[in-house]
Amino acid sequence: MKLPRRKFLRVAASAGTLPLVSQIARAQPYPTHPVRLIEGIGAGATTDLIARLMGKWLSERLGTPFVIENRSGANGNIAAELVARAFPDGYTLLLVNAANTINATLYPQLNFDFIRDIAPVASIARGPLVMEVNPSVPVKTVPEFIEFARANPGKINMGSAGTATATHVVGELFMMMADVNLLHVPFRGSQAILALLAGQVDVMFFPIPAVIEYTRVGKLRALAVTTATRSEALPDVPTVAEFLPGFEASSWWGSARREERRPRSSASSTARSMPASPIRASNSGSRN
């Protein structure tokens, strides 16, 4: 099934909650030895921060170490393939984010099948991205930014944590709905934040946990959040939708493991298209 580009951007940027399902160690105590929690974006990125918070909480709660491993590269595909090839005993977990579901639709020639080989365990968190600019950019609101961008087509640099990440896709959605042309500059994970702080790029859409402290001390300027409602963390920052009606996107994180392989009919294998289980598009105007 081919999605119109506009609809695809909405689906990918607003990827929904993973089912609260766990089939790990159904018939025996779990865990009995250390668990690996793999994340694929890189140290310092929001996914890494969430992995470390969850690893610490689970280690304390279950009395067994949850060891965080950074396997960044290829927009999270390296980490996902490692888990897809792991023994399916629940001792190698993947910290999943929107990039994994985007990859499943964009890269048909991967060495693994994310939908077939990865099983959801639990939803962890979701939240808005925040549209940040370097303070040197002469704008303080979304309308001012749009006017500035239209006056300088192709000259304003938009950073992201990598091509096809949520930080990139949300930026593409903004460009489409605001009718502006920004120059996309992909980085590797949290290096995008350093580039924005240094003024190497002008604007970026990034999850709040990674940039909120820079915003509070004035090193970055928040123009808007991407969800349909304002964020409790930044209550004075408006939503993009207040200026671009219908704009909505959120970032999300969950945990997953390798699926236990089951026989599949050839018909079901060849008829597969982008499924709805790990991705749920929001209704127009509703919060994802």
What would the pLDDT profile of 17-49 be if each residue is shown by its tens digit? 333 334 444 557 889 999 999 998 877 778 888
Q: Are 39 and 9 in contact (CB under 8 A)?
A: no
Do the domains spanning 5-127+252-270 and 129-242 agree at the CATH topology level? yes
Of all residues in the chain, the percent with pLDDT exceeding 70 is: 81
| pLDDT score recorded for residue 284 | 36
| CATH code of the domain occupying 5-127+252-270 | 3.40.190.150
Phi, psi of 179 (to 5 degrees): 60, 55
What would the pLDDT profile of 229-258 be if each residue is shown by its tens digit? 999 999 999 999 999 999 999 988 999 999
CA distances (Å), origin 78, targets 2, 100, 112, 197: 26, 11, 10, 28
Q: How far, in Å, CA of 94 to CA of 177, rounded?
A: 33
Instruction: Report, at the CATH architecture level, how domain 129-242 is classified.
Output: 3-Layer(aba) Sandwich (3.40)
Q: Would you kindly state where each structural domain of the chain is located, as residue ranges?
A: 5-127+252-270, 129-242
Given phi > 0 = left and psi -120 to 50 = alpha, else beta, which region is 129?
beta
Q: Are 15 and 252 in contact (CB under 8 A)?
A: yes
